[in-house]
Amino acid sequence: MIDLKDETMMPPQKACSDFEAELPAYLEGESRPALLAHAAQCEFCRCILADVEQIRAASLDLMEDPPDRMWKHIRTALVEEGIIASRQGLWQRWASRWREGFLRHPVPVGAVAAAILIAAFFLGMPGQSFLHRRSALPQVSNASASRREASSAIDQLRQTVSGLQRAFNANASRLDPSLKVTYQRSLESLNQEIRDCRRSLPGDPDGLTQHYLASAYMQKAELLQSALEYDLR
Amino acid sequence: MLSAANRVARSIPALLLVTLAAGAWAAGPPQHSQTFSTIASPDINLINLRGNVIVRGWSRSFVHADYVMASPKIEIDAVSMPSRGQADKIQLMTHLLDASLHGPDAEVDYTLSVPQDSSVEIRNPEGVVRIEGLGGDLWVESVGGAIFVGDASGHVSARSIGGDIEVSSSSGNIELSSVMGNLRLLSPTSSSIHARTSSGGIVYEGSVLPTAEYVLETYSGNINVACPPSASFNLDARSVHGKVVHLLKVRRKPHHPSYSYYGNAVYGTHNHGGAVLQLTSYRGNIYIRPQSQNSSPTNTP
C-alpha cells in the first residue's frame, strides 16, 4: 500500500504525467515498458502502481465486478488527492485545492479500497443479500474457517476506519457547521451499531451480527471518506 | 436660485441610481441561464455545495440550466465537452469566490432540463435533489439532503447520509443507502432493489416482479412492505430483536440447515414463489401486509 504519510513526496512531473496517461492501457494488459521503467525509478509512481495492482488483484478475487460506484469513488479519491490527474479539466481546480489543503492529512485511499473489497468478498456489500453471498462462496465450506477469515477482514476494516477517523478529527473544524453536525450524528449512530454488534458477537450463531458489524464499518468508512472529499473549500 | 425645472433635472441621476439599486434588490439573488446543445444521451455531472437541485427530462437534445445564487461571490463553472458542436458531456460546478461563505450564503439552486436519456451524476451535500423522467443511469450523493427520484428507467444509485431517499415509479435497478435517513420505494417496476439504512426505516409499496430480487436491510428501523395479494415471491424476513408481522398467507418452509435463524423469522413462499424478498432488521420490526387497491402510501417508515 502507498504510504502517504511521507509529506516530502514530490508532485507529479512530466514523466509522471506520461505514466498516468499510460496506466489505463497497461492495466488493460497492453505492454508498456516505459511505464515500468519509470516506476522503477520513481518512488511515487511505483507506489501508485503497486496500489492499483493490489486493488485489481483484490477485485479479481471477488469473481464478480464490484459496483461501478466503487470505482468512481476510488478514482474520485485519487484525483482529489492529487495522486492522479483527472481527464476532465473541470476537476483540476478542485484537485489542486485538495492538494493544497487536505494532503496535510492524507487519506490512505488504496487501503480503504482494498479493505472494503476484501470485506465485501467475505461478508457481502452493504445491502447485498447476506445469505446469497454465503451460498455464492462454495470454496468457503468450513464455517469456522470462514468465520475466522471474516473476523480478520473486519479487523482490517476497523484499522482502516481508525485511520480515516483520525484524518476526519484533524479536519473536522474546517467542515461547514451544518455538514459537521450531520456527519457527527451519523457517526454516533454507526458507532452505536458497532458497539451493539460487538457486544452481541459472542452469541452470534450464524454470522448475522458479524454481517451487520461489517456493514456498519463499511458505511463508516464510506461516510468518513465522503466527509474528507467534501472538505474542499 | 434654481428653477423648478432645474431642480428636477439635477435630481434625475440620483433618482435613477436609487431606482436601479432598488430594482436590483427587488430582483432577488443573481440568476443565470445557460443552454447547451447535446447529443441525445449526454452525461451530466453536477457538483454543488448547498441548495436545491431539480433535474427533469425532456425530448429535446439540449441542456437548459437555470442557476439562482445566494451571493454574487459565487460563480458556476460550466463546461461542455467537446466545446463545439453537440456535447456528450456537460459538467457544472459551484465555485465559491469567497471561501468563507457558509450556510445559506453558499447556496445555489439549480433547475436543469436535460435530454430524457441523459445519465446524471450529482453531488449536493445539502439541499433537496429531485430528478424526474430520465432514462439514463442516475448517481446521486448527498450528506444531509433528501433525494427524490421519479419515473426513472435507468440504474438508480442514491446515497444520503442523513437525508431521506424516495424512489417512485422507476424500472431500472435501484441501490439506496443511508445512515440516518428513511428509504421509500413506491410503485417500482424494478427487477433488482438493494436498500440499506442504519437507523432509518424502509417502506416498499408496490407490485413484485416474478424474477426480481429485493433486499431491504436496516439496523434499528422498521421495514414496511405492502404488496398486492396476488404478488408471488419467496420471503426471507428476519429481525434479531424485533418482531416480524405478516398479514399474507405465507407457506412456511423449514429453515436451511446451515442457518440457525435466531431472532424472529418468517421463511416461506407466497403464492407460487419466484421473486426473492429478503428483509432484515436487527432491532426494528418488519411488517408485511397486502396492499389495498386504493390505499395511500404509508407516510412514516
Say what the pLDDT of residue A145 is. Answer: 62
Report whether B80 contacts B34 (CB < 8 A).
no
Residue B145 lies in a domain: yes
Say what the pLDDT of residue A140 is. Answer: 33
Residue B270 lies in a domain: yes
ipTM of this complex prediction, to 2 decimal places: 0.81
Say what the pLDDT of residue B20 is. Answer: 40
For residue range A59-108, what is the model confidence (pLDDT) as tens digits? 665 545 555 555 555 555 555 454 444 433 333 333 333 333 333 334 44
Residue B180 lies in a domain: yes
- Interfacial B residues in 7-66 facing A (CB < 8 Å): 47, 49-50
In eight-state DSSP terms, residue B199 is: S
Q: How many domains does chain B have?
A: 1
Say what the pLDDT of residue B292 is. Answer: 75
Residue B218 lies in a domain: yes
Where b means 16+ CB within 10 Å and e means fewer, A178-207 reads bbbebbeebbebbeebbebbeebeeebebb
The CA-based dihedral angle spanning residues B140, B149, B144, A175, taken in that order and rounded to the nearest 10 degrees: 30
pLDDT of A196 strictly over 80: yes
Say what the pLDDT of residue A10 is. Answer: 42
Say what the pLDDT of residue A207 is. Answer: 77
Residue B129 lies in a domain: no
Provide mean pLDDT across the span A19-46: 82
Which structural domain, as residue segments, surrounds residue B212?
137-290
CB contact under 8 A, A126 and B220: no
- Interfacial B residues in 205-264 facing A (CB < 8 Å): 213, 215, 217, 219-220, 236, 238, 240, 256, 258-263
User: Which of A183-192, A209-218, B252-261 has maximum average pLDDT?
Assistant: A183-192
Percent of chain A's residues with pLDDT above 90: 12
Kindly report whether the peptide bond that precedes residue B82 is cis, defined as omega within 30 degrees of 0: yes
Say what the pLDDT of residue B278 is. Answer: 95
Residue B221 lies in a domain: yes
Residue B56 lies in a domain: no
CA B45 – CA B139 distance, rounded (Å): 10
- pTM of structure: 0.73
User: Which of A116-120, A182-186, B17-21, B292-296 has maximum average pLDDT?
Assistant: A182-186
Residue B19 lies in a domain: no
β-bridge partners, B32: B67
More confident residue, B180 or A11: B180
For residue range A134-158, what is the model confidence (pLDDT) as tens digits? 333 233 345 566 677 778 888 888 8
Tell me which residue of B240, B236, B201, B203 sits closest to B218, measured CA to CA: B201
Say what the pLDDT of residue A98 is. Answer: 38
B45, B160, B198, best to mutate vs chain A, most A CBs in 10 Å: B198
Report whether A79 contacts A31 (CB < 8 A).
no
pLDDT < 70 regions, chain B: 1-28, 254-263, 293-301
Considering only CB atoms, A182 lies closest to which of B91, B103, B162, namely B162
Provide mean pLDDT across the span A147-172: 84
